[in-house]
Chains A and B, each alone.
Chain A
Amino acid sequence: MALINSDMPTPPNSSQTLVIEAGRAERHYWRDLWRYRELFYFLAWRDLLVRYKQTTIGVAWAVIRPFLTMVVLTFVFHNLAKLPSDDGPYPVLVFAAMLPWFFFSGSLTECSNSLVVNANLISKVYFPRLIVPTSTVIVTLVDFFISGTILAGLCVWYHFAPTWRILLLPAWVLLAFGASMGAGLWFGALNVKYRDFRYIVPFIVQFGIYLSPVGYKSTLVPEQYRLVYSLNPVVGVIDGFRWAILNEQTPLYWQSSAISAVVVGILIYTGIAYFRKTERYFADVI
């Protein structure tokens, strides 16, 4: 049976006709993406399964890493640099920013490598290539939710209750997802052709944590630079997270959020466009 099912004759034109042509914009692209939707799940599932195999404490790493970073950042910015925390406990302040930051930087790093890591898949099987970076971001999103439990723990520890604004958090998660996706698509596609991005991305991540308001509040940035500062899409995301989680007295600096949203929109749009333009020759250059 298997390969054939002799009792099930196949009419020759049972499926749709496929036309392959040079430079043909894939008409069925989005439909194909939907047809291969299970592959999203399987690739993400594989990465999750593999991630913590042969580690003794397994998933605990997803919690320990951000927790220790939070301790260090709190110590440096709060205890040494004496930055104030008027809206809530400093660890909560830091952690509210670290959640989206780790999500973004993790996605960026993994995404930019994702296509190269899956080179053998790409050069041997057809599927919409967009699945690879997307499922990578989904994996990082799972980590994001796991480390989210620390935040809950911190709130309990400090007897700190968020307000109704926490209900708007999903919107900011969506923005973070968009920022990760857009940047990830760009760097993933670029990395296929120019492996220089293997070195550029860690560099960006290293500096990014200081160029984004992770250890400090964005209100520390002088007013006249604030708009330029907000061009970094993570700034709007982090501000949003803090606004939703902490009881900040200062209202949301909406200009920054708006700029971030626009930047994220542009990133995603151009990211998908660039990705689709380049994915045709992935198999030739990877």
Chain B
Amino acid sequence: MSTPVIQIENLGKRYLLGAVKQRARQHGYVALRDVISEQIKGWVSRKKKETVSRDEFWALDDISLTINQGDRIGIIGRNGAGKSTLLKILSRITEPTRGRITISGRVASLLEVGTGFHPELTGRENIYLNGAILGMTRAEIRRRFDEIVAFSEVEKFLDTPVKRYSSGMYVRLAFAVAAHLEPEILIVDEVLAVGDAEFQKKCLGKMQEVSHGGRTVLFVSHNMGAVTNLCSRGVVLKKGRMDFDGSAVHAVEHYLALGIAQAQSGASLPPHVLYQKDSEEPEQPYFIERVETYDAQGKAKPLVTTGDTCVFRITFEAEAAVENAGAVVMQFTSYDGAKVLMLSTTPDSGFPCAIRKGTNTVECVIEKMPFSGGEWILGVGIWLGSECACWNTDLCKLQIEPWDVYGSGFALTANRSLITTAHHWRRP
């Protein structure tokens, strides 16, 4: 069936980043004092117009998209690409600056699990409150109450204030309410990032149920596995613009190659560079500049094979020096979302990673590449103590060449085993 349910035409959203707004970003709000002093400055210098045009920022620019009934669309993109802004506009939380959207059907959006939960209220009370906030009527909630409770598995604690819940129970209850909405169009933002693995699976199953029931799903996630599993169509956003629209698998491919593709458009990159930051992308205080692979001798290594020694050289920029508390983290994820390996300078390896102001380089040496042949997702992050300074779980693609590590005549690929390790057999 291809009845369009959502039509987005030339959508744009602009944020103004004047001096006042900059302060607002620091403090979270605008003080009257600043507005008044800006006004006075404006009168004195008569340069108001210039300031306005300079400090514009288009979070979304010229997005056009037609979504048909039954489409399951995964929206992917780096942080700040405009994914959340798009969902917020579709959910009517904020207004577009330009363009037009036509929606037919009841929309339920789930931008956060447990919105409006009140810690002092009991589980039972919160089910009603949260349901009402999500747009259910009292009769609807009453009808679905038992199902919600059963799904959340918190029957015993229904009359306990949710502030005494464990975080797992809290999330389960919150998702249960949301899952029992009956929308024609469901908009979901990263909800699956919470909760334990088992519950995540349950949520994913629920969402699959929804989409197979002919409803339309819009799904934002950094979990590439979830996107490819759940979605039929993928849209890649880049700096507020549509970069790709096609099948979910192709969208994920395209997205993971973004790091290289962008840089290649300027000058061609050697193949041992896994990721290169796009020079046009706005700079964060801490960001990953480049990820390269080298061999044991320090020569560029364009092909990484199972069992090889491989050196990952990570180059990153820091706005300030961090003496003791810095840490660099690498994460390897399979395409279906399994976090197979995480390596960090601290605490895992006890490698003191002092961060200098400016450009920093660290290398991670993997003696025998444990991953089987195929495609992997590499994530890289920088931590300052327990605080995350930058974290891209899906920074780039890592292609591993299959190799017959065991000399058995079978090259190691993902359908045999995801990883390998040095071992031998014997009789006791």
Contacts and interface: CB of A to CB of B under 8 A. Distances in A.
User: Is B truly associated with A?
Assistant: yes
Interface stretch (A75-83, A117-125, A144-152): A117-125
A23 B29 CA distance: 23
Contacts of B31: 194-196
A42 interface: yes
Contact of A14 (B29, B151, B184, B206): B184
A196 B37 CA distance: 14
A9 to B, nearest CB: 7
A192 B333 CA distance: 42
Interface in A212-253: none
Enumerate the 5 nearest inter-chain pairs by beta-carbon distance, A residue then B residue, closest first.
Answer: A4-B213, A126-B92, A42-B132, A196-B32, A20-B101
B186 A3 contact: yes
A156 interface: no
Nearest to B183: A3
A8 B257 CA distance: 42
Interface residues of A, number: 49
Given A3-B213, A42-B128, A125-B116, A281 B92 contact: no
Given A3-B182, A10-B215, A285-B24, A50 B118 contact: yes
Interface of B: 1, 3, 5, 15, 24, 29-33, 35, 69, 88-107, 109, 111-112, 115-116, 118, 120-121, 125, 128-129, 132-135, 137-138, 144, 147, 151, 161, 179-182, 184, 186, 206-207, 209-210, 212-215
15 contacts: A3-B207, A4-B182, A12-B1, A12-B104, A15-B106, A17-B104, A18-B104, A20-B92, A49-B125, A120-B116, A121-B133, A127-B133, A195-B29, A283-B93, A284-B15
Contact of A281 (B94, B116, B135): B94
B186 to A, nearest CB: 7
Interface of A: 1-6, 9-10, 12-23, 36, 38-39, 41-42, 45-46, 49-50, 53-54, 120-127, 193-196, 280-281, 283-286
A246 to B, nearest CB: 40
A114 B182 CA distance: 30
Contacts, number: 158
A126 B109 contact: yes
B106 A284 contact: no
Contacts of A21: 96, 99-101
A147 to B, nearest CB: 23
A56 B415 CA distance: 63
A4 B120 contact: no
B30 to A, nearest CB: 6
A41 B137 CA distance: 11
A50 B162 CA distance: 13
Contact of A53 (B98, B120, B186): B120
Contacts of A280: 94-95
B94 A2 contact: no
Contact of B133 (A39, A49, A285): A39
A20 B5 CA distance: 13
Contacts of A38: 132, 137-138
A196 B29 CA distance: 10
Contacts of A5: 182, 213
Contacts of B144: 2
Nearest to B161: A53
Nearest to B5: A12
Given A14-B105, A194-B30, A3 B115 contact: no
Contact of B120 (A2, A17, A50, A284): A50
Given A5-B182, A38-B138, 17 more contacts: A2-B180, A3-B182, A3-B215, A6-B213, A15-B184, A18-B92, A18-B103, A19-B101, A39-B133, A50-B118, A123-B93, A124-B93, A124-B115, A125-B93, A125-B109, A127-B135, A285-B30
Contacts of B132: 38-39, 41-42
Contacts of B116: 120-121, 125
A283 B94 contact: yes
A124 B32 contact: no
A17 B1 CA distance: 19
A193 B206 contact: no
B105 A12 contact: yes
A110 to B, nearest CB: 16
